[in-house]
Chains A and B, each alone.
Chain A
């Protein structure tokens, strides 16, 4: 396992895409934080407290409805590349020749990817925090911001692992990137729209299905406050609590990791 960790740590540090993806995540999120800061400075949202506004800026818009987590897109791509490169360039044979223990290889990849993404996510939050502290007129950072920030990091790590797992399942980098982006950005919004339409016109509690959409659940886990934005105007949605939403998200992510791992371990190189 130590050898696999050494291998993976050199692998991720010696590929330009690791830096490109991380840099894009950082730059774009910081840009969003700056734009939000300027917007809030000119017109304070009436429905948000000072603390919520501060958290909103720090998380690059993540703590409220409407703004996608831009960094997660790049981390998901990076995750897809972590495994996708092995298949695309045939390096899996060299990897597994050096490290025949596939469980160790897989564990090292997951661990190193998660640590990398978590570290970059923390850096993003810290830079955003610095921006908010420096430029936000009504800066009010409290411990209440910590939960959305922690879940922001978790959300990014989860997306990276989802991209990684889709690559292991499909053995195709492009397909994995498409899948990991289409799910939260296309599939779940479509499902949400349909559920909302059905829920509005019937008395059925179909809105509760919304609870099971993993990307939405992960996204909800960083809302501040959680219950303010949770229902998303779905009648009878019966949105589950923070713990349940976080659990749904991670069950989905770890389920994907388990499926991808099984494929990686059982398939021919």
Chain B
């Protein structure tokens, strides 16, 4: 149950810094997610931590560097590649080979191969394995020495939904036993469910390190959202109290720097009728994109049909973000400017921007959710045609039916009660 301390990790490739003086801790008893855009240096960092790459800095496991660990597989288990084994060496032999090198009993080979669900194919050659099965064999390798620390690079790649669910539960269970789990993943929704702490990397430098909740709380997307009958008055008074107020395309106000109690109280003092007052919680993905937008290594130069900030292909700059101030070019004018033909860009199917992980369309809620649930265009995604969805007859001052209770964006309850 080792405390991992990475200090001043640095690595250059042909003069270009891949990792720059990176320092962070991974605390025992937690799953620490390792996030960063493509090319941020996550895999390089993990290789440095395991002494596989030559670089600067030091990583210790309870004060001992990896190269000084006796029987390292008993202390640190790692998976860095999806299929790190010879295709014709039987799975059981691959594990046996590693086990004998660290004086791990061969009975443990059978145990871990059953733990990862490969018992039926233990004597099969991995060339017949799917990517997911390869990942499972990699995980078996990592678990072989029953280590107190796991370092996993994209372990969910190739796993089917059941496999992802199994992996998540296993890692959380291992963390609850007091182990240190350090795992990178591009599946932010999965990471949101799995990780307790985060280390966020951008262009080789540390962007954030700490508890996930703290990281998400720094997102600009956290706001108090209010819909009132006199937004101009409330906006003026809020700004007089140093709050940041942004009017959204549907007329709602997104307020930061004041909490909902203060906003509600002020509205009451001003005699402003409040139709909706809620706290909008940023998702991990939103917080991640906020934090790493400027450090994306490989950014598409132009989206589909637009290269404006916030267009498809790259995270928008704050202020040009959909839902904050003016919608980006291609999304058309705000809804309140008319109810005629759908503006350009509406009606296009949602498209993933290059270089972005698949995104749940936050705010792209089905039209039946109706008034009071205006969509929040996702980064780089145009909202659905009905997005601003205010029918003409629903102007300010009208009282729409209350919206059904909704989970936070991106956290829909699953069958087992866990948010997803």
Does any Cβ of B come within 8 Å of A119's Cβ? no
Does any Cβ of A come within 8 Å of B397's Cβ? no
Q: Is the CB of B81 within 8 A of A90?
A: yes
Q: Is the CB of B72 within 8 A of A14?
A: no
CA distance A101 to B83 in the complex (A): 23
Stretch at the interface among B30-38, B45-53, B171-179, B211-219: B45-53
Does any Cβ of A come within 8 Å of B197's Cβ? no
Chain A residue at minimum C-beta to C-beta distance from B82: A90
A22 CB to closest chain B CB, in angstroms?
Answer: 16
CA distance A269 to B47 in the complex (A): 8
Chain A at the B interface: SS class: helix
Chain B residue at minimum C-beta to C-beta distance from A104: B101
Given A3-B71, A269-B53, does the pair A99, B101 have CB atoms closer than 8 Å?
yes
Contact partner, A98, options B80, B86, B101, Cβ 8 Å: B101
Stretch at the interface among A4-12, A139-147, A202-210, A252-260: A4-12
Chain A residues whose C-beta falls within 8 Å of the C-beta of B54 in the assembled complex: 266-268
Interface residues on A, range: 20 to 34
Contact partner, A268, options B52, B83, B96, Cβ 8 Å: B52
Chain A residue at minimum C-beta to C-beta distance from B46: A93
Q: Is the CB of B71 within 8 A of A14?
A: no
Q: Is the CB of A268 within 8 A of B102?
A: no
Stretch at the interface among B87-95, B182-190, B375-383: B87-95
CA distance A267 to B103 in the complex (A): 27
Chain A residues whose C-beta falls within 8 Å of the C-beta of B240 in the assembled complex: none
Q: Is the CB of B93 within 8 A of A91?
A: no
Chain A residues whose C-beta falls within 8 Å of the C-beta of B67 in the assembled complex: 100-101
Q: Is the CB of B84 within 8 A of A7?
A: no
Near B by CB (< 8 A), chain A positions 71-113 give 85, 89-91, 93-94, 96-101
CA distance A85 to B126 in the complex (A): 14
Q: Is the CB of B102 within 8 A of A3?
A: yes
Chain B residues whose C-beta falls within 8 Å of the C-beta of A89 in the assembled complex: 83-87
Interface residues on B, range: 20 to 34
Contact partner, A97, options B50, B83, B93, Cβ 8 Å: B50
Q: Is the CB of B100 within 8 A of A3?
A: yes
Chain A residues whose C-beta falls within 8 Å of the C-beta of B98 in the assembled complex: 7, 94, 98
Chain A residue at minimum C-beta to C-beta distance from B101: A7
CA distance A27 to B71 in the complex (A): 41
CA distance A101 to B51 in the complex (A): 10
Does any Cβ of B come within 8 Å of A228's Cβ? no
Mark interface residues in B94-128 (1 if CB within 8 Å of A CB, else 0).
Answer: 10111011110000000000000000000000000
Does any Cβ of A come within 8 Å of B78's Cβ? yes
Q: Is the CB of B69 within 8 A of A10?
A: no
Does any Cβ of B come within 8 Å of A15's Cβ? yes
Q: Is the CB of B101 within 8 A of A100?
A: no
Contact partner, B96, options A4, A10, A101, A269, Cβ 8 Å: A10
Near B by CB (< 8 A), chain A positions 108-157 give none
CA distance A202 to B186 in the complex (A): 71
Does any Cβ of B come within 8 Å of A186's Cβ? no
Does any Cβ of A come within 8 Å of B73's Cβ? yes
Mark interface residues in B379-402 (1 if CB within 8 Å of A CB, else 0).
Answer: 000000000000000000000000
Chain A residue at minimum C-beta to C-beta distance from B54: A268
CA distance A267 to B53 in the complex (A): 7
Given A93-B80, A93-B81, A96-B52, does the pair A10, B100 have CB atoms closer than 8 Å?
yes
Does any Cβ of A come within 8 Å of B141's Cβ? yes
CA distance A6 to B67 in the complex (A): 19
21 A-B pairs within 8 Å (CB atoms) are namely A3-B101, A10-B97, A14-B90, A14-B94, A14-B96, A15-B86, A85-B86, A89-B83, A89-B86, A90-B84, A91-B86, A96-B51, A96-B52, A97-B72, A97-B78, A97-B80, A98-B72, A98-B102, A99-B101, A268-B47, A269-B53
The 3 closest A-B pairs by CB, nearest first: A7-B101, A269-B52, A14-B93
Contacts A94-B98, A97-B72, A97-B78 aside, 11 further interface pairs with beta carbons under 8 A come to: A3-B103, A7-B97, A10-B96, A14-B90, A93-B84, A96-B51, A96-B52, A97-B52, A98-B101, A99-B101, A100-B51
Q: Which residues of A contact B (CB under 8 A)?
A: 3-4, 6-7, 10-11, 14-17, 85, 89-91, 93-94, 96-101, 266-269
